[in-house]
Structure 1
Amino acid sequence: MRTYAIGDIHGRLDLLQDAHAKIAADRALTGDATAPVIHLGDLVDRGPDSAGVIRLLREGIAEGAPWQVVKGNHDRMFLGWLADPWARDPGLRSDLGWLHPRLGGDATLASYGLRAPGDRPVAPVHAEALAAVPQADRDWLAALPTHVLRGDLLFVHAGLRPGVPLAEQTETDLLWIRHEFLDDPRDHGPLVVHGHTALDHAQHHGNRVNLDGGAGYGRPLMCAVFEGRECWLLTPEGRAPLQPR
């Protein structure tokens, strides 16, 4: 069973379009036009065109493209800020907010045509955002699933809490977990394909595959194809095997 996956996008519409082109080239070689493309969340923040990323994926799915998207922690923070700019996501450090420079929320607002918040009061910035961000974008993001289970592969943004049945995982764990998952060598059952923790290169650890190549920091956007549990990265030259470390 063939499945494509794309790591954290972070507003890089240009890199997303290039990843889709690599997938189209692989489809042309295999003759498979139906295998799904699963996007691993964090569509927004840091990069220059979060609005364009959401629009491309939302409209493409509506038109029948075989794409699926799981929710990332940055996607949830964006929605949470729109709902209440003074609320704090439970996965976020207490000294940070969505508009902190480290998180890149200002770039998401800019992609919707808003000027940088700077030191302006929160209330007018929030009112402008509510007027600028289409309700269709907000509804679509809110409806994204936290994970996709496909055969022997589990696609999720951050990972899962080891030893906890999938049905009992919390959304915060699936969107935010890091070291408790990354440092655990046990077999999780399905091979977990995730992003969230930015690396210089994709990594295969036997029990999980991390496809966050750091696109939000100016590095590549990773895309891969799975045949069962076997994985290849898609490059301009074609498939490159990604073997367990």
Structure 2
Amino acid sequence: MEDQPMTYAIGDLHGEVTLLRRLLALLPIHDEDTLVFLGDCLDRGEDSVATILALRELKRTHAACIFLRGNHEDAWLACWNGAHFTHVPDIEGALQVWEDCDGSLPFAVGDWLEETCIEYEDKHAYYIHAGLLPGKPISQTSAFYKMWGVKGFLESEYDWGKPVVFGHWNLPEPLVQANKICIDTGAFRRGKLTAIRLPDCQIFQVQRDS
């Protein structure tokens, strides 16, 4: 199994750049492996701008990086005109980021946001930020629900054909089920950042210093 390309999915960062660096140092990544960041990389945590800049640098050194669009990225993109952010989005944690930058976030942040995608698929799984409509094929779930979540998804036992790997829900521990896998373990709140490697479903975690 170690000879085949792996996929590492990484849970919600929410600005926790130190945890990001620790996790990347821990993961046994090979050049052919893919890294999928499940969205909500900014707001709330240690340093959102530094987190985005670190992800941009990672993309330069490891081309196979996928950045999914969470509800926080979606909210910031609604304030981006292609050159600068016109105002601060009405979402938790954004005002602090705005004030830390004196209302002038670096262009690199908006440029990175434009690269984010709603979903990703490989032979192992589907990857989204927040959720899918229970009982319906993936194609019938709107982009909004994929980014912002949908009622009943966490409880659903529906088989979408492959496991659905996602974040968003801020659980105490990873949720690993046959049909879905959640690895948002509250990096900004609990200080625990989680990744999962597919296809073997090995969990990797780093913890903030107490």
- State the TM-score bracket (shorter-chain normalisation): 0.7 to 0.9
AA partner of residue 70 (structure 2): G
1:205 CA drift (Å): 2.0
CA contact (8 A) 1:225 1:232 kept: yes
Structure 1 unpaired stretches of 5+: 89-96, 115-128, 237-245
Aligned counterpart, 1:4: 8
- Structure showing greater radius of gyration is 1
Instruction: Show structure 1 runs of 4+ deviating over 4 A.
Output: 82-86
Name the CA distance, whole Å, in 1 between partners of 2:166 and 2:62: 24
Change (3 A) 1:234 1:64: closer
Q: Which amino acid aligns with 1:71?
A: R
CA distance in 2, matches of 1:199, 1:235: 14
SS at match of 1:179: coil
Q: Where does residue 78 of structure 2 map in the other structure?
A: 80
TM-score normalised to the size of structure 2? 0.85
What corresponds to 2:18 in structure 1?
14
Out of 38-47 and 177-186, give the one that drifted further: 177-186
1:106 maps onto 2:78 in alignment: no
Count of matched residue pairs: 198
State how 1:148-159 maps to structure 2 within 5 Å: 148-159=120-131
Matches of 1:45 and 1:4, distance apart in 2: 23
Q: Equivalent residue for 2:204?
A: 234
CA contact (8 A) 1:48 1:108 kept: no
Describe how 1:216-235 pairs up with structure 2 within 5 A: 216-227=188-199, 230-235=200-205
Contact kept in structure 1, 2:53 and 2:108, CA below 8 Å: no
CA offset at residue 168 of structure 1? 3.6
- Cα RMSD of the aligned pairs, angstroms, is 2.1
Where do residues 110-125 of structure 1 align in structure 2 (5 Å cutoff)? 110-111=99-100, 113-114=101-102
Corresponding residue number in structure 2 for 1:55: 53
1:94-122 per-residue CA deviation (whole Å, 9 max, x = no partner) reads xxx32xxxx111232245x32xxxxxxxx
| 1:215 aligned partner | 187
How far is 1:216 from its partner? 2.1
Write the distance in 1 (CA, Å) between the matches of 2:178 and 2:75.
31
Range with bigger deviation, 182-191 or 73-82: 73-82
The 5-angstrom pairing of residues 178-189 of structure 1 reads: 178-189=150-161
Aligned amino acid, residue 173 of structure 1: Y
How far off is 1:232 after superposition? 1.0
| CA–CA separation in structure 1 for the residues paired with 2:96 and 2:22 | 21
User: How far apart are 1:139 and its partner, in Å?
Assistant: 2.7
Q: What is the Cα deviation at residue 138 of structure 1?
A: 0.9
For residues 152 and 225 of structure 1, what CA distance do their matches in structure 2 show? 10
